[in-house]
Structure 1
Amino acid sequence: MSDSQYHPPYALPPFDHEKADVIIRSSNNIDFRVFKLFLSLASPFFETLFNLPQPSEGMSTDVEIKDGLPVIPVSEDSKTLDSLLRFCYPCTLAEDPAFEDFGDAINLLGVAKYSLGAVERTICKSLFSPKILEGNSLRCFAIACHARMQDECAPAAKYTLREPLVPTWFEEIELITSSELLSLLAHHKKCGNAVQVLKDDISWITSTYPAVPWMVDLCDMPCAETIRKNAEKAIQTACQRHCHYCTHVVPGGMRDFAVCFANNVEKLIAKVELDMKF
């Protein structure tokens, strides 16, 4: 089939409506039949685009016409465009997209030219929740930096304290600058230094726990999670001794101690600010 005979396929509902008044074509040649009104209300970019003077009847134009509708090509692929357009449509016609991976979020954050503030707000809500941050703190931090979302950098930086001071390589590290990475590492080191006071002055422990069987080095991973993990290791070690008394007493006492220790660590970390300005 020749190029002149090729007709790109239409996207899936709701972007195949027969009463649509414009076609948006993705970079991989998928046509989205959409309504100008929805896009104009959601995005100043589209509003300006659709308000441009249209060629009068009989005037030569380079705009492609398909099924009587003008075709507007864009640089986004069909997957990204589908997600973008769903944000433009009323919720009764199209639900907000669910992100399958971090790549989807990055692609959507990269369509800033469409001036869709709702996109960023929704992505932030999805990406920067505790559940996501717990396992993807470094990736979230990189995305926040890449999208210039300073308010999201701080909570992401806090969750990165669960990682070693020098983290292993991750794909999204290429999204951040060396100065942003340096800011993160400096913040990590300052948090580690801040909690060392808990080792130098243990009055906060002895006032509640007269005897302390162990202390954990928090320099490398200065966060409450480090305390909790070491407490569980101590409990496991005590239980392996098969002491009838320790097996029943140690778990509760050690976990209470871990909560006290972790709370003090959190208080000190909260005072350490992330030194970063976009």
Structure 2
Amino acid sequence: MNLGKMFDWPDADVILRATHDAQTRDFRVHKTFLSFSSPVFKHMFDTQQPQSTSLDGVDIFQVGDPPRALELILRFIYPSPSPPIIDDLTVLSEALVLADEYNIEAARVQLRSSFLEFARIEPLRAYAIACRLGLTDEMRIASSHTTSIHLPSIDDLPDEFRFIPATEYHRLVLLHARYRKEVEAIASRTPLPGFSLIDTLLALPAFLNNDRVKRAKEKVRAREFAKEHFRGRIRDSVALDPETLANVLKAEGNFITAISNNDIQSHVGTILGQASDLNLTV
């Protein structure tokens, strides 16, 4: 994280002394900047007495904030030619808490935007953190990204899951079960010229080897291939609305096992549900 050593202004009129988990750091800052950006800071400076005074006569206010997270928040308050680069999900989650506590909207917006990138890179940790912080949209996005990875057992989950209810893990289990079922259904019935993708790929191990491990690996590969096919088809050629999808399926009915109106409507619902799980625009 490119925060560096800053906030040691010689003309500072207040010191924030951040102490958390045996870490302590002083931030020499300006009341005007902090009060303008945060009504909570303004109220603190207006109504509370400083805990002590520095040798050069600057008031010291004690705060129980993680120093790295507080520095990140201050970087959003002070003018800067470029936003800070955030490469630590733990610090980001702590900063999100501080952005809410100090009611700093600019920091909150930027941090949530950065959080979405971590949802793609570390979806399980991001999901648990979003659950703990009550970030509904981020929970949904992070959960959709978990479908691209293996869901570990409870004992092997990231530490962040210790701070959320077990029911949130159960929601992921249900999502993955639904995801596997619908990807297989879509891949086997989505129109493709002349062959059924999932059937062909899943049959491949029988021709290669009857070994159980190899068959399992081929099934995983098949599901991943099917998932990517579905993403590409939806994004490139099929609009995500029920009427358009139904018309496409009727037009390409020769490649669908059953094309009654009920089957088509059922297939349309499956596609729309899967598209939502994949975080595609519906």
Question: Normalising by the residue count of structure 1, what TM-score does the alignment of the two structures yield?
Answer: 0.66
Retained in 2: the 8 A contact 1:223–1:266?
no
Residues 52-201 of structure 1 correspond to what in structure 2 (within 5 A)? 52=47, 63-66=51-54, 67-92=56-81, 95-111=82-98, 112-129=100-117, 132-166=118-152, 168-198=156-186
Whether 1:12 aligns to 2:5 is yes
Change (3 A) 1:146 1:224: farther
Indicate the SS of the match to 1:119. Answer: helix
Separation (CA, whole Å) in 1 of partners of 2:85 and 2:130: 19
Note the C-alpha offset of 1:22. Answer: 0.8
Q: State the distance in 2 between where 1:128 and 1:91 align.
A: 22
Structure 2 stretches lacking a partner, 5+ long: 204-216, 235-269
Larger-gyration structure (1/2): 1
Instruction: Give the 3 Å change call, closer, same or farther, for CA 53–140 of structure 1 in structure 2.
Output: closer
Number of equivalences: 220
Post-superposition Cα deviations, 1:252-278, rounded to whole Å, max 9, x if no partner, equal xxxxxx63686369755124599xxxx
Where does structure 1 differ by over 6 angstroms across 4 or more consecutive aligned residues? 220-225
Unpaired stretches in structure 1, ≥5 consecutive residues: 1-10, 55-61, 230-257
Tell me the residue number matched to 1:226. 224
Distance of 1:223 and 1:267 partners within structure 2: 23
> 1:72-122: CA deviations, max 9, x gaps?
011123322211211221225xx5432232221122123232122333322
Tell me by how many angstroms 1:204 deviates. 1.7
Counterpart among 203, 209, 225 of residue 194 in structure 2: 209
Q: Which range is displaced more, 149-158 or 62-71?
A: 62-71
State the superposition RMSD in angstroms: 3.6
What secondary structure is seen at the aligned counterpart in 2 of 1:183?
Answer: helix
Report percent identity of matched pairs: 25
Partner Cα distance (1:73, 1:24) in 2 = 6
Measure, in 2, the Cα distance between the counterparts of 1:53 and 1:26. Answer: 16
Cα distance between partner residues in 1 of 2:131 and 2:70: 23
Alignment of 1:47 with 2:42, yes or no, is yes
SS of 2:174's partner is helix
How far off its partner does 1:172 sit? 2.2
Q: TM-score, normalised by structure 2?
A: 0.65
Tell me by how many angstroms 1:143 deviates: 1.7
Q: CA deviation at 1:223?
A: 11
Question: How far is the alpha carbon of 1:210 from its aligned partner?
Answer: 4.2
Q: Indicate the residue corresponding to 2:233 in structure 1.
A: 263
Measured against aligned partners, the alpha-carbon deviations of 1:203-256 in whole angstroms (never above 9, x if no partner) come to 623xx1347672349xx9999981179xxxxxxxxxxxxxxxxxxxxxxxxxxx
Deviations 1:175-198 (A, max 9, x none): 322122122222222222223423
Matches of 1:222 and 1:267, distance apart in 2: 23
Distance 1:20 1:216, change over 3 A: farther
